[in-house]
Every structure is written in structure tokens, then in C-alpha cells.
Structure 1
């Protein structure tokens, strides 16, 4: 009998036996990779837990960590990092660790007085416990621990407790109140301002068009060049001409799009640029121009898709008329005071469509 058959038989026997004992070996909260358990149970479990904490008005701190950040990423931070970012203000001392928390100026006492900390028998005792019951030390101390004990006793003698819960804040010059958001900001590296997002998301256009415009501006749209790079398209050539279909080519350099921008007398800048930097044509109102840019790019994209999937071509006039139709539908998203500017832009585009 081949060796592989023997190994498969042994593996099958072990797996069958393990299935009968696995639930006694693995914690009941483990839901993944176990027969009869489902990861979706965690969602129900988390919702029930939050509902219980809310109904009892219990102070709660919730962490949501996905698998990539927890295991595969080097740029994340740990619970210890989060703990280092908070500083406690002692009131009743019941929720503040005497040794581990920052409740006195400087680092935690465990870091500042390592010799005495190594002799402690209650290393996780609260400030209230230490003040009322003492430090809880081993009977014999080293000389270094004895000298540190004198300083610690002065701290204890100078600590006065009163009624009320302890307060926590982020350990920074501004000392904001501790929250998961403030802790994340303190631990996360500083990133440059995303100008594209700042200009795109406030626009009062449909959400799908916002996402589309954002992807156009950062060149992440599913153009043929991007799809061909991912082996998702047989070719990277534009459907309307013989050039590679990059984002710039599709929306600005292709003969189809060039005719549209030329009809509007909009000069296309050389090199790379943001779509929001396109200059507005002089006769059109500049206040609604970003609105118009999104509508024009959206119509060019829909016309391109109609050509790719349905083999239907659209003229410059029909594309601009679709832009005007979209502006009519989106007009009601604007405040009444801003609609006049959009009406002026629509009138300008409609006049150029029939020119």
C-alpha cells in the first residue's frame, strides 16, 4: 500500500477524533473554523453586549480590530500603546492602577521605581487599595528598593481621596478627554490633507457620483489601462481610438472628450492636474463649476460604457444634453440660494450643446 494512503488514513482518524473533543479544548467564544459555529455570531454577540452596557449605563470602551491590522500590518498599535497615551486624574482612586497608570507627573511608578515594583505582591492594586491597605511588599527589600520606598511613601502620604470616579485624559499638551477617537489620533502618524476628499465630499451630488469623481481625481477608476494591469481586460486600448485608455486620455485627450471640452472652450492643462483645477469657461458662472465638472465627467463615463458594452456612440451634443438633464435632477439637492448659479451653468451648457 502506498505511503500516501497510510498518511491519509491516519489523518482522517485523527480529524474524526478531534471533532469529538475540539469543543472541550477551544473556548466557547471562538466562532471561526469550528463545526457548528459561525463568525456571524460575533455580530450578534457584540450588539447584545453594547445594548446591555447601554441599558445599564456602564462605562464601556469598545475596540474594533480587523484581521489585517491585528496580524498582517506593521503600522498598527497595541493595547499597551493605547494605555501609554492616557493619564488619570485620581478622585476616589478605585479605577486607577497605583503602579501601571500615569496618575503622577512623569511615567508610571512601575517604570520610575523598578526595584521596589519588583518586590511588590499586588502589582495591579488601585490607588485606593494602596492608600487604605498599604503597598503589599515582600518581607526583605534590597537597598535600592528601600531608598525607593521612602519616596513612594511620601507620594502615598500626599494623596487625598474624595468621592467621585477617576477621570482620564489623553497624555498630550492639550489633554483632551480620553476617547477612542482621541487615542487613535494621538497614536496615528500625521498624514497630509487629502485635498481631493476635501473638495469632493461636500458637493451636493449623488453619492455614487462623488465616489466616481474621487476615483477619477486619484486615477483609481477602472479604465482599460488599470484593468489590463490587473489582468482583468484583454487590452488597454481605448474603445474610441487607438491610444491606451488611461484616466487622462479617457476624460481629456481622447477625440471624443476633446470635442466636448473644445465645445465648452475649456483649456486642458498639460501634465497631471486635479479635475477641480479645470478653469471655468468665462461666460459660465464659476460658483457651480465644480458641480458641472462632476456632471460632465459622469456623462463622458456613461457614454464610454455605452460604447464598450452596447456599441452605441454618442455625439458631443447628446452628451452635453445628458449633462444638462443630470443638472436638472441634481438641482434640488442645492440650497435655494445656490440654484441660480447652477441654472446659469445649465443654460450655458445647453447653449453650447446646440451651437
Structure 2
């Protein structure tokens, strides 16, 4: 109910429905940016609450594109309520600017989206399919948002509450306990999913030691920052994505698990193994830096540490799954050696 009530404020900010308080929000926090694209987490308790739940609005949000200046090309539900990042994950994994606006990508002669490298044959087919399903915006009016969960198209707390209640509560917890992992690691991941890790900001709230700031990025050290936003986390996620495929693109825990953790069979079992090894690598690396003041000498250190955890847990995997896991290990090991070999030679 609290989330549903807070989403009312998110809706009002998106609609521009407010007086002096909205002017203050725009001047102090947004500064010309879109609410859903703004990553600023410092500020009042109200602003922090808005930031923590704002992405939940997307499950009922629908955007009708006008000039495209208020819509993110990859991240907003403007194509029949679907996010392009989920419909075309291979393209999203290599896009240069995940937060690009529709207006910036739509030029007079067609769509222009930049990628970090040339497209491969499969990605070319995805791009051609993307061009076929998304029309260029032709209107000069502003983008319009509506609420798909009510007949009027207007947000209502009751519809948001009912939708949130119908959503399964952490449906991935059950397969977690069956995953081939040490019990200690299962409990750690369970704490992560329940947002109970003692991150810097949480320790600071309880008047513990430290200043609550990431020693690498000098930003508030939240759980999400440690495992997704920090430069150390981004390096490891990039390494795994390039080795195992675009389905390992992740910037938000809830969205990522909603797609990947609900798989069944072999994919689910090995997903938890790889995911837990990544999270444990990032968490132990963070503890070394924050508690012991020991910093990695190279980015590749975390890659090999991650591989060591996977290799150590290898005997826990079912015999019939070990061939697939070995394939993962070979791909990851080859990528790690490519990254580290220039440094070793130097």
C-alpha cells in the first residue's frame, strides 16, 4: 500500500501536475532530466522514497510518443507497453547510450542509434526487425502518458495496489534454495534479495563505522551501487555479458531477476550458480576495500576471483549439468585471459 501511495507522487511528477513543490523538485533534483532517467539519490527523505520505488510505475505505464523528448528509447514502455531492452536484448547489450531519448534517436532520414561495436549477422537481423516494428515519431506535440490499469487512463492508487498484490512476491526465492550453492552463499543471496545487506549507507543509518561512501566512486554506497552501479560491478557485468551473451545485461536487480530467475530446468540451476558467484565476488571485493583497505591492482583480479568461486562450487552441480557449466567456464576463462594478457606481458 505504501508503494501504491508513493506511485501517486511519481505519476504527478511525470504528468507535471503540481505547484511550488513540483517546481522545487525540478529545480533541485531533476534539473532538466526525466524522472525515470534521473539517478540522483541524495536529498530529502521524500526524494529518496520516490527514487527507490519510481520504476514500479512502469508495470502500468503506457507512453504515446509525440516528439519523443520525454521517452527513453530502450527503457520506457512506448512500443505497445513493451520495453525495447527486453524485446531486443542483444542490441541493448551493445548500445552506447542505454538512456537515449526517442527524440535523439529519431532523425529525418530514419532511426540512428549508436552501438559500441559493429553489428554481427544476428544483430543486423534484430536491427532490421526493430526498424520494421517501430515507426518514426511524426508529431510535434509532447509525449503523453496513460495508466493502462484503469479504464479512464488515469492513475489510481487502488488499481496500483491490486496489481502489486497480484504480483508474485519474490517468486525466485523457491528455486534459490534448490540451487547448487553452499548454504552460506544461499543465505547471502537471500539477504541481497530482501535488501538486507549491511551496505555503507545502511551501516551509517545505524551509526556504525564508516562514512557510507563508495571508496572507488565517492557515491553513496547502497546495495544497488555495490552490485550494479559501481565501476567494479560494471566491469564484472561487462565481462560476463561479453562472455556468456546479452542476456546477462543488467542495471536493475528487479528487472533482471524478473526475466532470468523465473526460468526452469538447467538454465535456472546454472543461472543461480553464476549469479551468486558474481554477487559474492563483488561483495567480498567491497569488504576488502572498505574494511581491510585492500584494493584490487587490476580489473581482471575480480574476473579470476569470480572464476575461482565457480570452479570451487563445480562439484555441487549435478553430473548432467557439468558439461554446460564447463562450457561456461571455458568461455569465461578465455575472456579473462584475453583481458589480462596485455597486462601480464607488460
Greater helix share, structure number: 2
- Taking CA–CA contacts closer than 8 Å with sequence separation of 6 or more, which of the two structures ends up with the larger relative contact order? 2
Larger Rg: 1
Query: TM-score interval w.r.t. the shorter chain?
Result: 0.3 to 0.5
TM-score, normalised relative to structure 2: 0.42
Instruction: Return the TM-score normalized by structure 1.
Output: 0.41
